[in-house]
Amino acid sequence: MDPADALAELLSPSGRVNPYPVYELLRAHGPVTSAGPVFFVATGYEEVDAILRDPRFGVLDDALRDQFLPGWRESPAVLSISRSMLRTNPPDHSRMRRLAAGAFTPRRIAAMRDVVVAQADELIDGMLARGRDGDPVDFMDDFAYPLPVGVICALLGVPTADRGLFRRWAGELTGVLEPEISPAELAMADRGATELRDYFTELVAARRRTPTDDLTSALVQAHETGGARLSGDELLANLVVLLVAGFETTTNLLGNGLVVLLQHPREAAALREHPEFAPGYVDELLRYDSPVQLTSRLSTESSRHGGVDLPAGSWLMLSLGAANRDPRRYPEPERFDPWRPQIHPLSFGAGPHYCLGAGLARLEAQVAFPQLLRRLPGLALAGEPERRVRLTLRGYATLPVTVGDPAP
């Protein structure tokens, strides 16, 4: 199948739900392949990693957005993401990232372990209470969503009572991360973005009046001390991105990862016995079914990657999900094997935009999986989980499980 047809297949509902066979069709054309005029797709591990680190590539800036996304300034969804660190290039990117980075140092993340353990325990208690009579519970509703929301809200200082608000808004907004979006989906994304901006406008006003020691207050302070450090738009955009990136992705790691563990009982039993194996397991789960499947970059100068000339102005779709299954990097890539040496999945990206929350996401999953397996030894799938029809953020809409008897 030619690359343009394979790409169309990838963007179809069935391709979004199961992209892995389509990645192999694209890979057959080489680790980087042309899929249209100045449009390329990279599926090779080495190539995706190198392009993400190559300073000749950047994220879409305003001038290019004008060219590729006419009317984007009218879209609250595109605006709220494009003013954040996720979609800006140096020097703005480095300035914004530095301001938030203090909250994500390894020491600050390690200090959150107790919060994560306590929240996970409480959620497992809830699952046990609801599933006591053998009734299925939805793992997405009861665990995979509330755990990361609770943790990122604690970090941002979002009041506990408001945590239920974000799932729908974030689900709508993240539609704009898809490579193609319909007008109806864009309208929904705009609605979610508007709700989130309104919410954070109020929280910012509250923290301006009474600062606390949370990340929102730290960013408000960076804005107050002379807007040069962080403009008002940037403040709101980064708060929205921190919240949304902080849970949509981790929610999917927990859902995708649980299904893989339940499908591999021998490996799950080993993790139950040896929670200290969790770091290798989590990295292999990230590789095997990445919660973020793709990102994109634009080249500002000509370059050559994977034996292909990429002229200045080329647009590249970088498939993290395909790179994570590159057979040149991972023997038998379709096999879940937590004992692989040097896993280093590309699920958190690489280079200057490398995920700021990678340490936090790893901590949550490294705590959650052993704790779930230990406290719920009879946890089992109860019917077919249902995928969201999304390519970029890959996860489940529903994941029914029965909890079994609690561990003695």
Q: Is 58 in the site for ligand HEM (CB under 6 A)?
A: no
Residues 58 and 89 sit within 8 Å (Cβ to Cβ): yes
Q: Is 144 in the site for ligand HEM (CB under 6 A)?
A: no
Tell me how crowded residue 182 is: count the other CB atoms within 10 A of its CB: 10
Count of residues interacting with ligand HEM (CB under 6 A): 23
Q: Which of 245, 268, 310, 368 binds ligand HEM (CB under 6 A)?
A: 245
Q: Which of 292, 316, 322, 403 binds ligand HEM (CB under 6 A)?
A: 292
Residue closer to ligand HEM, measured from CB, 241 or 310: 241
Q: Are strands 303-305 and 308-310 parallel, antiparallel or unpaired?
A: antiparallel
CB of 100 to ligand HEM, least distance (A): 7
CB of 295 to ligand HEM, least distance (A): 4
Helices 215-224 and 92-101, axial angle in degrees (round to 10) = 140
Length of the chain in terms of residues written: 408
Q: Is 242 in the site for ligand HEM (CB under 6 A)?
A: yes
Q: Is 276 exposed, middle or buried (0-12, 13-18, 19+ CB in 10 A)?
A: exposed
Residues 307 and 44 sit within 8 Å (Cβ to Cβ): no
Residues 179 and 404: their CA atoms lie apart, in Å, by 40
Residue closer to ligand HEM, measured from CB, 355 or 382: 355
Q: Of the candidates 344, 312, 292, which has an alpha carbon nearest to the alpha carbon of residue 40? A: 312
Q: By CB under 6 A, what part of segment 145-174 binds ligand HEM?
A: 152
CB of 131 to ligand HEM, least distance (A): 25
CB of 87 to ligand HEM, least distance (A): 8
Residues 167 and 196 sit within 8 Å (Cβ to Cβ): no
Q: Of the candidates 158, 404, 77, which has an alpha carbon nearest to the alpha carbon of residue 262? A: 404
Q: Is 139 in the site for ligand HEM (CB under 6 A)?
A: no
Binding-site string for ligand HEM from residue 329 to residue 348, where x marks contact by CB under 6 A and - marks none: ------------------xx
Q: Is 353 in the site for ligand HEM (CB under 6 A)?
A: yes
Residues 296 and 338: their CA atoms lie apart, in Å, by 28
Q: Is 316 in the site for ligand HEM (CB under 6 A)?
A: no
Residues 351 and 369: their CA atoms lie apart, in Å, by 28
Q: Is 97 in the site for ligand HEM (CB under 6 A)?
A: yes
Query: Applying CB under 6 A, which residues contact ligand HEM?
Result: 85-86, 97, 152, 241-242, 245-246, 249-250, 253, 291-292, 295, 347-349, 353, 355-357, 360-361
